[in-house]
């Protein structure tokens, strides 16, 4: 695929039936989890900033399912969906949002900073584009260790205006590092429309760093999966980084505090008509992979999991005040690393 | 023991740690073929090759962040930021990422990253190139801040920094790179963090410094002895986070007077932290308020006479001591 090509044709391994079932399940899990989060936020169970991922599910599910277990992910602060797609337990994510000891980060991180090292999920980062140089460093580590794992860096279109975007891409390009840059372009940097923010299209800006750069439909999970597979194959072969701009849309405001004065309800409705979950559901029904009753059963299963996550989080204790100073630094035991 | 210049002791520390541990690698602007702006990495490219001694573009935020990422993936990177002035464009990586990831992740990850940078004024480089920001870094929980004054300590502290599982900001004073001193030959010689050194003993006043200001304290102690018949304890903090206040407090309880010296601006500076802790822990032993001798509250001027006036001097230290008698 050439540099700067806009919409790729479908390539790579087409997802088999089982994988499509998984995509549907994971997108539904994210959707219902996030809707539950909104409810828990209004009930005061979740505090701080809460950025919900509804509408963008196809990005996380398509991209992350293309990874191997030993690939590493860093992402931005709208990170629940990515964590769920990576297999981080919903119970532990919800407990983190509830700020409890059973949370992924023992209640120290919150919504924007989910970590799960056991899944090579190396964090949500809340300073826009601040994690992009870290992805470069992960790619550098992969190269220095002569291993063929790759780094996936997920960020939003808002990150493209930051200097760290450009430094990170440039370093990855000159050092030919195995990093897949995955831009979730949801059209707005908080409330400022994309068109008022950048002098060029995202994938064209990235292409100027001499890496393959494609724009894809981020509301089509099959396309996201295929494009990411292709990107991973490219970076694993030592060809340097690869850039994907996925066009997507968030249904809710930037955060729960957003009054959404900058867009119309009609616009949101327009995108809801293109919903990734409904799209996959329709095609799976057409292919005879599911029918309406099995779909409803899946929704019920997901809802039960989300309810279980809430129950788990609620039952988990708050961290004791005596643990305030835990984890400021790792203890030195006379060994390095 | 071998007599060495500061820059050679620093290079030797990096060299020994690279030989000892394959996970250690270096990156920074002009650290390879150029040998480093202050010649601290000269020869290391030839010995270790471009993978482990990596020249980078001028992208401080990018390379510090890449250091954080490589550290997360099991390496022990040393990133040289040419001077502390340029660390200001990498603060997001240092403050938001390196210092916090262990805590924020609930202890899941740690960042064994060494950041070396040159600090200090006095070379007529003007306001943007003459900062002393040691105290700013000491402000952030999660960082260790090392400020050696002598080559032997620099080597032992830098080697210790490579063994540390957390980020270390290792700050070298530009005026000291050529300073000579005795350096232990033992490759296992480490200097532990949070242990100040009493480099001179006396009974009339405690002079506290770190990095370049230790030498001003030392010269002031000479002047006090020769011209005024007074003797001073001179305490070299060596690391300012962790901070060895116990050594300072023990000394002040004996001398009953203290002067804290630093190049950084006095207003909101680190000397104020030390003065406050002395007040909290040794108030009843003090015969005079703790004095601070520090940089004047101006952007560093280019003119030589003005720059000299803006920096603390040994004469200022002597004057501060005499005014509290």
The 10s digit of each residue's pLDDT in A264-299 is 999 999 999 999 999 999 999 999 999 999 999 999
Same domain flag for B39 and B173 = yes
Contacting residues of B for A107, CB less than 8 Å apart: 106
Both B219 and B99 in one domain: the answer is: no
Residue of A nearest to B66 (CA): A137
The pLDDT of residue A14: 74
* Pair B36, B172 in one domain: yes
- The reply to whether B310 and B235 lie within a common domain is yes
Contact at CB, B23 and A337, closer than 8 angstroms: yes
Q: Which of B155, B183, B211 is the last residue of a domain?
A: B183
Min Cα distance B158 → chain A (Å) is 13
Residue B190 lies in a domain: no
pLDDT above 60 for A337:
no
CA distance B57 to chain A (A): 8
User: pTM for the whole thing?
Assistant: 0.96
The parent domain of residue B51 ranges over: 2-183
Establish if B188 belongs to a structural domain: no
Mean pLDDT of B138-158: 98
Domain termination residue (choose one: B131, B152, B183): B183
Q: Which of B183, B216, B251 is the last residue of a domain?
A: B183
The full DSSP string for B220-288 is HHHHHHHHH---EEEEE-SEEETT-HHHHHHHHHHH--EEEEEEEESTT-HHHHHHHHHHHHHGGG-SS
Query: Same domain, yes or no, for B147 and B205?
Result: no
Same domain, B216 and B94: no
Q: Please indicate, yes or no, if residue B234 is contained in any of the structural domains.
A: yes
The single residue of B16, B29, B60, B307 carrying the catalytic annotation is B60
Q: Does residue B240 come out as left (phi exceeding 0), alpha (psi in the -120 to 50 range) or beta?
A: alpha
* Nearest C-alpha in B relative to A171: B62
- CATH value at residue B224: 3.40.50.920
A140 to B96: CB separation less than 8 angstroms, yes or no:
no
> What pLDDT band is residue A127 in, cutting at 50, 70 and 90?
very high
Q: Going from the N-terminus, what domains does chain A have, and what CATH number goes with each?
A: 17-315 (3.40.50.970)
Look up residue A36 and give its two tokens.
């539950």
In this predicted structure, the answer to whether residue A10 has a pLDDT above a threshold of 70 is no
- Furthest C-alpha separation in chain A: 62
B60 is catalytic: yes
Contact assignment for B65 to A335 by CB distance below 8 Å = no
Nearest to B7 by CA among B183, B263, B125: B183
Contact B62 A329 (CB under 8 A): no
Q: Is the domain of B240 the same as that of B311?
A: yes
Count of domains in chain B? 2
Test mutation, B16, B105, B140, chain A, max A CBs within 10 A: B105
What pLDDT score does A195 carry?
84
Helix (H, G, I), strand (E, B) or coil at B36: coil
In this complex, the residue of B25, B96, B163 whose CB is nearest that of residue A130 is B96
Domain CATH code at residue B146: 3.40.50.970
Using DSSP's 3-state secondary structure scheme, residue A247 falls into strand
What is the Cα–Cα distance from A103 to A82, expressed in whole angstroms?
A: 16
Are the Cβ atoms of A167 and B59 closer than 8 angstroms? yes
String of b and e for B144-159 (b: at least 16 CB within 10 Å)?
Answer: bbbbbbbbbbbbbbbb
Task: Choose from A99, A329, A333 for mutation: most chain B CBs within 10 A.
Answer: A329
Q: Which residues on A lie below 8 Å from B59 (Cβ)? A: 167, 170-171
pLDDT digits (tens, 9 = 90+) for A18-34: 999 999 999 999 999 99
Residue B192 lies in a domain: no
**Closest residue on chain A to B51 (Cα):** A144
Q: What length is written for chain A? A: 337
User: Does residue B311 belong to any structural domain of this protein?
Assistant: yes
Q: What are phi and psi of A215, to 5 degrees?
A: -110, 130
B147 and B209 together in one domain: no
Contact criterion met (CB < 8 Å) for B105 and A115: yes
**Chain B residue numbers touching A133 (CB-CB < 8 A):** 61-66, 68-69, 93
Hey, are the CB atoms on A130 and B108 less than 8 Å from each other?
Answer: no
Residues B45 and B135 in one domain: yes
Interface contact flag, A171 B165, Cβ < 8 Å: no
**Mean pLDDT for all residues in chain B:** 97
Per-residue model confidence (pLDDT) at position B159 = 98
The 10s digit of each residue's pLDDT in B59-68 is: 999 999 999 9
Residue B270 lies in a domain: yes
Per-residue pLDDT of B80-123, as tens digits, reads 999 999 999 999 999 999 999 999 999 999 999 999 999 999 99
B51 is catalytic: no
In a domain, B87, yes or no: yes
Same domain membership, residue B229 and residue B101: no
Q: What is the mean pLDDT of residues B208-237?
A: 98
Are B168 and B22 members of one domain? yes
Say whether pLDDT at B301 is over 90: yes
Residues B225 and B308 in one domain: yes
pLDDT for res A304 = 98
What ipTM goes with this model? 0.96
At B303, list the tokens.
Answer: 């003119």
């Amino acid at each position: 695929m050439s540099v700067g090509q806009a919409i790729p044709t479908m390539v790579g391994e087409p997802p088999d039936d089982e994988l499509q079932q998984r995509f549907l399940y994971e997108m539904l899990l994210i959707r219902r989890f996030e809707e539950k989060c909104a409810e828990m936020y209004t009930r005061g169970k979740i505090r701080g900033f809460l950025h919900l991922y509804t509408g963008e599910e196809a990005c996380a599910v398509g991209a992350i399912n293309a990874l191997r277990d030993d690939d590493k992910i860093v992402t931005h602060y709208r990170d629940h969906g990515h964590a769920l797609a990576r297999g981080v337990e919903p119970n532990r994510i919800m407990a983190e949002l509830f700020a409890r000891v059973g949370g992924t980060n023992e209640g120290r991180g919150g919504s924007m900073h989910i970590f799960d090292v056991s899944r090579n999920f190396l964090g949500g980062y809340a300073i826009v584009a601040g994690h992009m140089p870290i992805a470069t460093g992960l790619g550098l580590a992969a190269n220095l260790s002569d291993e063929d794992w790759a780094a996936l860096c997920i960020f939003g279109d808002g990150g493209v205006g930051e200097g760290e975007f450009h430094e990170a891409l440039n370093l990855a390009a000159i050092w030919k590092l195995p990093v897949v840059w995955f831009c979730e372009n949801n059209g707005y940097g908080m409330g400022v429309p994309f068109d008022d923010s950048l002098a060029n299209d995202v994938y064209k800006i990235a292409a100027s760093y001499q890496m393959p750069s494609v724009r894809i439909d981020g509301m089509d999970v099959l396309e996201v999966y295929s494009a990411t597979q292709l990107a991973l194959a490219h970076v694993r072969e030592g060809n340097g980084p690869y850039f994907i701009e996925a066009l997507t849309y968030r249904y809710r405001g930037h955060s729960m505090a957003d009054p959404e004065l900058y867009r119309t309800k009609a616009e949101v409705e327009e995108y809801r008509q293109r919903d990734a979950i409904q799209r996959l559901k329709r095609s799976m029904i057409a292919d005879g992979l599911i029918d309406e009753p099995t779909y409803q059963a899946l929704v019920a299963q997901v809802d039960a999991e989300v309810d279980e996550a809430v129950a788990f989080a609620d039952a988990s204790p708050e961290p004791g005040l005596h643990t305030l100073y835990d984890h400021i630094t790792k203890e030195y035991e006379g060994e390095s690393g | 023991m071998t007599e060495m210049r500061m820059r050679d002791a620093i290079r030797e520390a990096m060299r020994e740690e690279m030989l000892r541990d394959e996970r250690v690698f270096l990156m920074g602007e002009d650290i390879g073929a150029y040998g480093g702006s202050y010649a601290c990495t000269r020869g290391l490219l030839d010995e270790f090759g471009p993978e482990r001694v990596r020249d980078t573009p001028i992208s401080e935020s990018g390379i510090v962040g890449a250091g954080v990422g490589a550290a997360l993936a099991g390496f022990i990177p040393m990133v040289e930021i040419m001077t502390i002035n340029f660390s200001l464009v990498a603060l997001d990586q240092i403050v938001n990422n390196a210092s916090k990831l262990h805590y924020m992740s609930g202890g899941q990850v740690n960042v064994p990253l060494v950041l070396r940078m040159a600090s200090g004024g006095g070379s007529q480089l003007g306001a943007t190139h003459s900062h002393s920001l040691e105290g700013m870094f000491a402000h952030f929980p999660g960082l260790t801040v090392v400020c050696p004054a002598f080559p032997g300590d620099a080597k032992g502290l830098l080697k210790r920094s490579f063994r540390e599982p957390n980020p270390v900001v290792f700050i070298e004073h530009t005026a000291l790179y050529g300073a000579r001193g005795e350096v232990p030959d033992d490759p296992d010689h480490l200097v532990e963090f949070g242990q100040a050194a009493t480099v001179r003993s006396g009974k009339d006043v405690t002079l506290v410094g770190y990095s370049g200001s230790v030498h001003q304290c030392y010269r002031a102690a000479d002047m006090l002895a020769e011209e005024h018949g007074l003797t001073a304890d001179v305490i070299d903090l060596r690391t300012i986070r962790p901070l060895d206040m116990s050594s300072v407090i023990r000394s002040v309880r004996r001398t009953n007077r203290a002067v804290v010296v630093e190049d950084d601006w006095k207003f909101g500076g680190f000397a104020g932290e030390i003065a406050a802790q002395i007040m909290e822990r040794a108030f009843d032993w003090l015969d005079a308020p703790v004095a601070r001798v520090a940089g004047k509250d101006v952007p560093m001027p280019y003119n030589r006479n003005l720059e000299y006036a803006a920096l603390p001097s040994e004469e200022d230290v002597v004057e501060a001591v005499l005014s509290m008698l």
